[in-house]
Amino acid sequence: MPRTLLLSLLFSLTLAAPGFTAPICDVVPTSLEFGSIPEGTTAVDSFQVTNSGTGNLSLSIAPPVAPFLLLQGAGNTNLKKDESLTVIVQFAPTAVETSMAILDLGSGLCSMVDLTGIGIAAVESCAVAPSSVDFGAIALGLAVVDTVVVENLGNVDLNLTVGTSPSPPFTLLQGSGGHVLPSGNSLSVVVEYAPTALTSDAGIITLGNTLCPDVPLSGEGAPAVDSCLVSTTLVDLGDFFIPLSGTPPIVTGGPTATFTIENVGSTVLSDTFDRLDGTPSDHGCSAFYRWADLDPNGPECEIQLCFNEFGFGVSPNSYTLNPGEIQTFTVDLQTTVPGTYSCLLTPTGPPICPPIELRARALRTSSGDGAKMAMHLQAPSTKNQCLPASQGGQLPDLTPCSQYVSSGATLTGYDVYVTAAGYRLPNARYYPDEGIGGAEFGLNYNGTPGQGVDVFAWTSCADLAFPSATWPDPSGGITLTFDPANNCQNAPISGFESENGHAVLGVLYVYAYDDDQLQITGRNNIPLPLPKLADCLSVEADVLLADAGAVGFGEPGCNPCLEDCSSALGLPDDSGAKPPIAFAPNPFSHETAIRFTLDKSTVTSLQVFDLAGRKLRSTAPHLLPAGTHQLRWNGATDHGAPVPAGVYYVRVLQGDHIETHRVVRLQ
């Protein structure tokens, strides 16, 4: 047998031996398409060769012809089982033409790789927007920014070197330095202008490429201007009802409203709402303080406090606004105390923004109709009968005289005020043993909780903080005792020497669900006559019928701490002719009293104007019965701010009749 035939047979047997497999060549992908590439630039792509057999795979890859170039994989390579080789090819066209090549991998087991690319003309193009930046007039101390966008519209890379001058007042916040901007990409250049003087400034953004025009900058330093625009100067939340839910009434979220503040100036506005326009003494609030309006819906207190546990909330309570910015604020009311709430929301810093008045009214209410009652100590028939003998009246000194402080309307629950007038209450430092104490009032009433009349709570302190005690369930013989050891009952109320002082003995909170009756019984250390109950119309009796939803409780009441109750009762004046409208004193320093007489029930109100015709103070129109009445003006506006010394006009409106009088306030 020939030697060559024997070797061939042995080789064939070896290949066919069990467990032996020839190398297998996989090429992915088998062609590279580089697309259109600008001349003078390059593009890179790759393919992978894998030996998926068991024998060694020998490769011998020769470099392709230009403009193709092997960056990786050229030369001889042996791949063992499962080994791979990545071949990287670059296309670098030097002419506007289509180029093709075939890459031989040097192994008959591997597919050849087709290479294709198109050389196109290089295009350089740059767009800059805006082409210039004018910052306008900017207040000293402020800084404003603007943005310039550079876009590569060509098909080759764009080289940039970005800078600005002068700096300051112009500063690049973003985009400075060197950049290589690929085709189709853009660069944002952020520039800040912060003037340092009241001059006109000119600058430039340089881009470092002749294809991209530089950007001129301009601005002007201007004086700082503070200016504020508010959407409203009055935020009125309206009526806020506190429903009854046992004792005491529950805390209920009130209504909400919004207002806005806009910075229309050239400076930054920053402030916090945390004080009132005025001092606590100017806007102090006792349980009876309600100016002179005699509000028929019973605002026992006009509370002049923002941001307290019983008052307004403003959210957010601070702000920082750049020029042109606007902020929305929400106002709400959280309270358990009935009354008219009013305050001025003023800035703590310079008065750039005008004050904003906040208003709301809290009323106690329930599903039924309400009525209000007051405890009196005597029912006078004329004004003189309500005065002690030392003042020309018909009563002995220190004899309690009927007074009431209640006023109201239907559909709400009310407070019942127990007062005594005509008692001498000097300063306790000099007369520590005088005052009212040990006064026992028995209160009988029929019905069960939720029916008839319910008494929810009472307090016997002049501060009238609810509740100081809970009134028992309806039953006979209930006694309310005013202990003389309790200082709040003996505290004198100064400034009313002409009436021998007044003391507030206590307050009951009652509600009339259905028709019912109250009866007062018993006495202790109370001079004759016995205490009575009154229906707020000076009709007193041992037994008071409380009608559900009764009308007629809206007549003006009297605050014995602030007003001349004997006049405010509107009792017939038995001293002779009716005087005209009078002001005493006039001129005045702290307060003047306006006295007038009505021949019949008349809707009456009061207005105060300055010499420029601006209305400073007004009271709500109110139906007053025939008789003599008195209102007081304490020289303050509706907001509680004291007016300066000068001449003012007081207009008294009585139905269709209007009288205007001149008053003078002294310094």
Q: What is the pLDDT of residue 639?
A: 79
- Is residue 100 very low, low, confident or very high in pLDDT (cuts 50, 70, 90)? very high
Q: What is the pLDDT of residue 328?
A: 93
Q: Are 348 and 390 in contact (CB under 8 A)?
A: no
Q: Indicate whether 501 and 389 sit together in one domain.
A: yes
Domain that holds residue 494: 374-562
Domain annotation covers residue 6: no
Number of structural domains the chain divides into: 5
For the segment 56-83, what is each residue's pLDDT rounded down to a tens digit?
999 999 999 999 999 999 999 999 999 9
Q: Which residues of 610-621 are buried (b: 16+ CB within 10 A; e: fewer)?
A: eeeeeebbbbee
What average pLDDT does the segment 537-548 reach?
43
In this structure, of 194-203, 391-400, 658-667, the range with the lowest mean pLDDT score is: 391-400
- Is residue 557 very low, low, confident or very high in pLDDT (cuts 50, 70, 90)? very low
- DSSP β-bridge partners for residue 25: 51
Burial of 24 (0-12, 13-18, 19+ CB in 10 A): middle
Domain annotation covers residue 417: yes
The residue with greater pLDDT, 387 or 638, is: 638
Domain annotation covers residue 10: no
For the segment 211-255, what is each residue's pLDDT rounded down to a tens digit?
999 999 999 988 887 888 889 888 888 876 655 433 333 344 567
- DSSP β-bridge partners for residue 420: 503
Domain annotation covers residue 306: yes
| Domain boundary residue, one of 166, 191, 222 | 222
Q: Indicate whether 386 and 467 sit together in one domain.
A: yes
Q: Indicate whether 379 and 496 sit together in one domain.
A: yes
CATH number at residue 261: 2.60.40.10
Q: Indicate whether 542 and 599 sit together in one domain.
A: no
Edge to edge, the sheet with strand 439-445 lists: 478-482, 439-445, 516-521, 543-546
Q: Indicate whether 145 and 112 sit together in one domain.
A: no
Among residues 490, 488, 500, 527, the alpha carbon closest in space to that of 400 is found at 527
Domain annotation covers residue 322: yes
Q: Are 85 and 77 in contact (CB under 8 A)?
A: yes
Strand-strand pairing, 31-38 and 228-230: unpaired
| pTM greater than 0.85 (yes/no) | no
Q: Indicate whether 165 and 281 sit together in one domain.
A: no
Q: What is the pLDDT of residue 97?
A: 92
Mean pLDDT of the chain: 66
Q: Indicate whether 434 and 320 sit together in one domain.
A: no
Edge to edge, the sheet with strand 113-120 lists: 31-38, 113-120, 98-103
| Domain boundary residue, one of 333, 365, 397 | 365
Cis preceding-peptide flag for 467 (omega within 30 of 0): yes
Q: Indicate whether 353 and 488 sit together in one domain.
A: no
Domain annotation covers residue 574: no
- Is residue 13 very low, low, confident or very high in pLDDT (cuts 50, 70, 90)? very low
Domain annotation covers residue 84: yes
Q: Indicate whether 84 and 138 sit together in one domain.
A: no
Does 384 have pLDDT greater than 50? Answer: no
Q: Indicate whether 511 and 494 sit together in one domain.
A: yes
Q: Indicate whether 393 and 541 sit together in one domain.
A: yes
Q: Indicate whether 555 and 410 sit together in one domain.
A: yes
Domain annotation covers residue 657: yes
| Domain boundary residue, one of 105, 120, 135 | 120
